[in-house]
A and B are shown apart, each in its own frame.
Chain A
Amino acid sequence: MNPVLSVRGLEKKFGAVVAADALTLDIAAGQKISLIGANGAGKTTFVNMVTGYMKPDRGSIVLDGIDISRHSPRSVARLGISRSFQIPQLFVELTAAENLSVAISGVGTRMSLRAPAEADGRHDNAIELLERFGLGDLADRPISELAGGVRKLIDIAMALVRRPKLLLLDEPTSGVSAEDKFATMERVIHAVAPDAATLIFVEHDMEIVSRYADRVIAFYQGRILADGAPSEVLKDQAVRRYVTGGLQ
């Protein structure tokens, strides 16, 4: 089966710091992949390059046969890659439903001059997406009044609007309390399931990684240290030494 995303010889340097060092990997459709690594290992740089925010110094990123390594974030989004952010990037003066409406308005070729509540089915789509995350009753609340964990879920809901082929989540459970992290991740996995998107999530919590990922890629100093099933990667000596610090 052809990979949905194919990365070849990806390099990125910030001065003397090597953030991506000849990264090469293939991602098959439907996989749930976790990117792990210490701070500065190159996980977010990888996500930023795949989503068009940063241009690689060298190498290629191919999505379904199209080289997207020089594409803008907008073009990458239109081709089928969406992302959420470590710090949710929402429109805080707007309500939760309005945030989703903005995302939905970007899907068509042109935006409507009708109010979102009146545009055909679009308001219903926004509410349906919020309900998928269990947030239907917060639709009319401004983002500025919502807690960090809820904002994170809305950020992910916005990324799902385009029914992406590939969804990248940057630390979906960071800032969520230890008691709530599994519930949050369950909601995310459950909400993503209907669109059957390939999922890549950056994560520091190894319990989350081992429970929800079916493939783990460990980064260290811009290189791939290990790549495989969670049970293998998390037991790898180099991963234990440089990434998990002996924890599991």
Chain B
Amino acid sequence: MKNGLHPLVMIALVAGVTLLGRALPTWTLSLATIAASNALIALGIVVLARTGNVSFGQGLFFAAGGYGVALIANAWGLTDAVAQVIIGAACGGLLGLIVGPFIARYSGIFFGMLTLALSMVFYGALVKSTALGGSDGFNVGRPTLLGLSFTDPREADFMLYAVSVIVTGFAGIGATILFRSEFGLASLAVRENNLRVEYLGISANRVISINFVIAAIFAGASGAFALMAQRHIDPQFAYWTTSGEFVFVAVLAGTQSVAAVFVASMALELVRSFSSLYLPNTWQLVLGVFLLGVILFLPRGIGSLWIRKRRKRSTIAANAPIAAETGAAS
């Protein structure tokens, strides 16, 4: 790999962060689990945003994953955490496969509004559906792992933390490989000039659709994590404010770095937790100021902090021979 970490180093990092959970206080475990879950869905938004399209309706796939897992868990008693994540991802992915090719024909604000509209249609249907608990939703049982049940709250929190960190970590490694690949380059090319991409014989719609399905898979898996953490699901999963929060994380992170998504998600959760703890009546104000600060001073997201430095280094390296030639000529 020319830039960034080798995948094996990333796997070691994921293992390290998972084991770190053993040393963390319990309240941090649930915070980190939520942050990892939010990072996963925001990562999907970033994957999609690299084609120039932002989804304001990822709540659709988040809810599809959550409801899919909850219904299967209650119908067949499937409580295994890993199986639930796979089912959530499959539900989100299947829905993405249906919606993606249709929506990929639109771009910009139309794309964003259509995703938002679809999520709100789904929200409306969930609210009216008495079989799914209507606006109150319904509860599910405690998750297990490989046949083991966790009655100790600390162990249950750690299990959920470990599964969410490992799944999100591997999703991050996958996204890093995707970003560096030919397909990743083509995604950036679609964002810049999709007509030129078509003139090169590449289907811009296909590139967008594939990224859309990846984002939907991540959102579905994230929905499964949210369900496991709350053990309750309701139509709020598909509501526009839920989707908006994930877009916040993606905006904070920017589209240049996978690591930035995790940093942004954790930062947002920390600011939210501490501001609601110490400023219970004005915590939204603190959150707003934090977002405003990042947008003003890091308009390309938190990732630009280290990507910019790396770019500067490589530009200097690329210019060096030219500078040397100029120097030799003068």
Contacts and interface: CB of A to CB of B under 8 A. Distances in A.
Whether chain B is bound by chain A comes out as yes
Interface of A: 51, 53, 72-74, 77-78, 82-83, 89-94, 98-99, 101-103, 105-107, 111-117, 119, 122, 137, 140-142, 145, 158, 161-162
B53 to A, nearest CB: 16
Contact of B181 (A83, A111, A145): A111
A73 B199 contact: yes
A93 B307 CA distance: 13
B182 A101 contact: yes
B181 A115 contact: yes
Interface residues of B, number: 30
Contacts, number: 99
List of 7 A-B pairs having minimum Cβ-Cβ separation, nearest first: A106-B202, A77-B201, A105-B182, A89-B196, A140-B318, A106-B200, A106-B201
Contact of A137 (B181, B182, B321): B321
Contact of B192 (A92, A116, A122): A92
A89 B199 contact: yes
A108 to B, nearest CB: 9
Given A102-B189, A140-B314, A77 B199 contact: yes
Contact of B199 (A83, A111, A113, A117): A83
Contacts of B189: 91, 94, 99, 102
B197 interface: yes
Interface of B: 1-2, 177-178, 180-183, 185-186, 188-189, 192-193, 195-203, 314-315, 317-319, 321-322
Interface SS of chain A: loop
Contact of B195 (A89, A98, A122): A89
A92 B178 CA distance: 20
Interface SS of chain B: helix
Contacts of A114: 181-182
14 contacts: A51-B199, A74-B201, A77-B198, A77-B201, A91-B192, A92-B192, A106-B186, A111-B182, A111-B183, A113-B177, A113-B183, A114-B182, A116-B181, A142-B315
B5 to A, nearest CB: 13
Contacts of B195: 53, 73, 89
A115 B202 contact: no
B196 A74 contact: no
Contacts of A90: 193, 196
Given A90-B196, A91-B193, A115-B1, A102 B201 contact: no
A106 B196 CA distance: 11
A106 B322 CA distance: 31
B200 to A, nearest CB: 4
A89 B202 contact: no
B200 A72 contact: no
B46 to A, nearest CB: 16
Nearest to B311: A142
A18 B196 CA distance: 27
A213 to B, nearest CB: 24
B193 A107 contact: no
A6 to B, nearest CB: 22
Nearest to B177: A113
A145 B316 CA distance: 13
Q: Report which residue of B185, B188, B319 has the largest number of chain A beta carbons within 10 angstroms of its beta carbon.
A: B185
